[in-house]
Amino acid sequence: MIHKIISHYLLTDLTTTQLPPYLMIGASSGVVLYLAKYTLYGVALLLGPGRDKYAAAAIEVDLTTIPEGKNAVFTWRGKPLFIRHRTQEEIAKAQSADVSALRDPQSDAERCQNEKYLICLGVCTHLGCVPIAHAGDWKGYYCPCHGSHYDTCARIMKGPAPLNLEVPKHEYLDEGTVIIGKED
């Protein structure tokens, strides 16, 4: 039987005959599956939480995992989030800075609810680059793109950046846990 089907299609002029039924069924099945996949995908997006809910999500961080003197990087709302466990030397240096001489004057107490931890967004306020931790003239953060230097409290000290690195809204649940971006 198969031999007859194969010889029939090989010996006849394909331009005048119809496509074999299995090719029609296969092609139409492929199209139907493709459309069904994207229909279900659209329904899932429609019924799921919106992008604004994902963007407004809060994250909880265990601060005990960050060693003293180190900087940890997390992703929050699509941006890098820096959490720095500051040493006593870094804290003393940040607290002794002359706030009136700063371009964007903010004291250490205004920027750090818990003096041991600095929490800020890792986005340079000049053009949105990601600064490097433990670098620059003040050993805080350094943006190599255009030379902005930040201190250990993420305050702009030198370079073209107009503002300090942004400190997001955060709340300490206990001494070792912080929640960042929690909306009331």
Residue 133 three-state SS: strand
DSSP string, 4-67: HHHHHHHHS-TTTSPPPHHHHHHHHHHHHHHHHHHHHHHHHHHHSPPHHHHHT--EEEEGGGS-
**Dihedral (CA of 30, 35, 37, 40) sign:** negative
3 flagged as catalytic: no
- The catalytically annotated residue of 126, 146, 149, 170 is 146
Q: How far is CA 74 from CA 62, 120, 135, 170, in A?
A: 12, 11, 19, 14
User: What is the set of active-site residues?
Assistant: 146
